[in-house]
Structure 1
Amino acid sequence: MLTSVFLKTLRDQLRALAGWAVAIAVLVAMYAAIWPSIRDQPSMNAFLDQMPEALRSLFAMSGADMSTPTGYIKIELLSFMGPIVVLLYAIGTGVAAVAGEEDHHTLELLLSTPLSRTRIVLEKAAAMAVGTVFLAATMGASLMVEGSWTGMDLPADKVFAAMGHLALLGLVFGALGLALSAATGRAGLSKGLPAALAVLAYVVNGLGGVVDWLKPVQKYSPLYQYSGHDPLVNGVDWPSAWIALGTAVVLAVLAVVAFRRRDVAV
């Protein structure tokens, strides 16, 4: 295992991944437990209807109906908390791949092995991707299992389509964190910039439908690739999925190029 950066990285992440998975299951259980008290409250939809259009676009997915399980999950989990959880993990793991090694003074030891820099970066990127997909799958499975306990029945294919788009969103920003850490070795910058760009992408996607000057750039937002085609209702949108996957791959390649060019003392 120690000769494989991929397997060693996954092994090192086991406890953290278990903690993240438990936290996600608890988060979903909370929303599932609240659902029975929400579904019989028509005032919730009235409240959403009374919100200014800009706020409704930012904090509630378009067309969501709180009286249905799909609409409730779109608003309460998938529009905000779900992406935050996955992005926190993906960005943190992507940054730790290189900048984290430097902070712990283990990068020199890693580079002293016969492993190439390209292999190190790509295997760490693969470990980040596996962890991100695992957490998205955990969220989907929790929705299906825990939701059934409270009558919050959701179509399995649509749930996992939404989780697929969520995982791809995480991969884009995780790969961005990886690329920045590979290029600079600075953990703070490599975490802060993707987080800031994620907030910017969220605002652009949320307000793109109501602010004229944002409309031309809305479709370039990774948040639009995640939610713009409403995967929890319509299933996987393959063009959006391929764009997100392609973006993550390009960023991973840039991480390799940047790390190969860096002067790191061994």
Structure 2
Amino acid sequence: MLANVLVKTLRDQSRTLLAWAVSLALIVAMYAAVWPAVQSQPSISGFIDQMPEAFRSLFATSSADMSTPTGYIQVELMSFMGPIAVLIYAVSAGAGAIGGEEDRHTMDLLLSNPVGRGRVVVDKFAAMALGTFLLAAVMGVSLVLEGRLVDMVLPADKVAAAMLHLALLGVVFGSLALALSAGTGRTGLSRGIPAVLAVLAYIVNALAPLVDAFDRIHQVSPFFQYIGHDPLRQGTAWDSVLVSAATIAVLVALAVAGFRRRDVAG
């Protein structure tokens, strides 16, 4: 057993990360392959404009022009599929970080090494965060390189900004899953609660322009920090980055405190 929990965790996740990376590159390739057909059908943007406003808001398409590469990717990838993929990975990694070790009855062996509980949590968090940022980077590089093959040219700096915010979205909910896993040891609960809260946060942010109650609170939603300022067109919003980073820091601190205070199984 490696005393360096981070290295061990990354090594254990290497095959999973490779599978995720290949899958995301293929998903981007699929959207890139469809782009020429979309580009030749400008009526698609008109069709979207005719949709009910609530439906357009839910899929972040209110101001998107599907006839442009940026608008197309905003609608097809960044509003729904991209966040879903990153959230599934991050929440699963966060939930399994502590609870997974207990389920496999390897926690006692891990803690028998000369590392404290706080170090275990921090290293598990670092592995989850690095994996999430790696997958976002794969998606971003795939968008830029594969897009060029089909004349879907996207500005690399704006894509990088969007991927930064996407990765932070994943790490926020992954950190919540980690905090629940560290505090309870229950993997299912640690997956379920972040999943439900992610859906609620998405709905609150998407419907804020239409629902007064949501409009008053949507700026605290992690989805607002992710896409509320349209990073694929406007670039990085550093205030949102700071809010996300602060949220992550609080959740990791709660994870450390929760893990230190409870009895550990296995």
Is TM-score (shorter-chain normalized) higher than 0.5? yes
CA distance in 1, matches of 2:264, 2:75: 46
The residue aligned with 1:102 is: 102
1:137-176 aligned within 5 A: 137-176=137-176
Q: Residues 265, 136 of structure 1: CA spacing in aligned structure 2 closer, same or farther, 3 A cutoff?
A: closer
Verify the 8 A CA contact 2:208 2:218 in the aligned structure 1: yes
1:32-47 aligned within 5 A: 32-47=32-47
SS of residue in 2 equivalent to 1:229: coil
The superposition leaves residues 148-169 of structure 1 with CA deviations (integer Å, 9 ceiling, x where unpaired) of: 0000000000000000000000
Stretch moving more, 1-10 or 79-88: 1-10
The residue aligned with 1:217 is: 217
CA distance in 1, matches of 2:214, 2:123: 37
The superposition leaves residues 83-102 of structure 1 with CA deviations (integer Å, 9 ceiling, x where unpaired) of: 00000000000111100001
The superposition leaves residues 160-191 of structure 1 with CA deviations (integer Å, 9 ceiling, x where unpaired) of: 00000000001100000000000110011000
| TM-score normalized by the length of structure 2 | 0.98
How far the C-alpha of 1:265 sits from its partner, in A, is 5.1
| Aligned-residue CA RMSD (Å) | 1.0
Letter paired with 1:20: W
CA distance in 2, matches of 1:112, 1:49: 60
| TM-score normalized by the length of structure 1 | 0.98
SS of residue in 1 equivalent to 2:64: coil
Runs of 4+ in structure 1 over 6 Å off: none
How far the C-alpha of 1:264 sits from its partner, in A, is 1.8
1:7-26 aligned within 5 A: 7-26=7-26
The residue aligned with 1:231 is: 231
Letter paired with 2:185: G
Letter paired with 1:28: V
Stretch moving more, 102-111 or 163-172: 102-111
SS of residue in 2 equivalent to 1:102: helix
Q: Residues 241, 151 of structure 1: CA spacing in aligned structure 2 closer, same or farther, 3 A cutoff?
A: same
The residue aligned with 2:131 is: 131
SS of residue in 2 equivalent to 1:219: helix
The residue aligned with 1:253 is: 253
The residue aligned with 1:89 is: 89
CA distance in 2, matches of 1:99, 1:67: 46
Verify the 8 A CA contact 2:102 2:265 in the aligned structure 1: no
CA distance in 2, matches of 1:133, 1:265: 30
Q: Residues 257, 64 of structure 1: CA spacing in aligned structure 2 closer, same or farther, 3 A cutoff?
A: same
CA distance in 2, matches of 1:265, 1:237: 42
CA distance in 2, matches of 1:25, 1:50: 32
Letter paired with 2:29: A
Letter paired with 1:117: R
How far the C-alpha of 1:54 sits from its partner, in A, is 0.7
* Matched residue count: 266
Q: Give % identity.
A: 61
The residue aligned with 2:118 is: 118
CA distance in 1, matches of 2:31, 2:265: 49
The residue aligned with 2:196 is: 196
Letter paired with 2:83: P
CA distance in 2, matches of 1:121, 1:209: 39
Q: Mind listing any 5+ residue stretches in structure 1 that lack a counterpart? A: none
Q: Residues 87, 265 of structure 1: CA spacing in aligned structure 2 closer, same or farther, 3 A cutoff?
A: closer
Verify the 8 A CA contact 2:3 2:113 in the aligned structure 1: no
CA distance in 2, matches of 1:39, 1:123: 45
Stretch moving more, 158-167 or 104-113: 104-113
How far the C-alpha of 1:61 sits from its partner, in A, is 3.3
Letter paired with 1:91: V
Q: Residues 260, 126 of structure 1: CA spacing in aligned structure 2 closer, same or farther, 3 A cutoff?
A: same
The residue aligned with 2:205 is: 205
Stretch moving more, 117-126 or 52-61: 52-61
1:35-74 aligned within 5 A: 35-74=35-74
Letter paired with 2:205: N
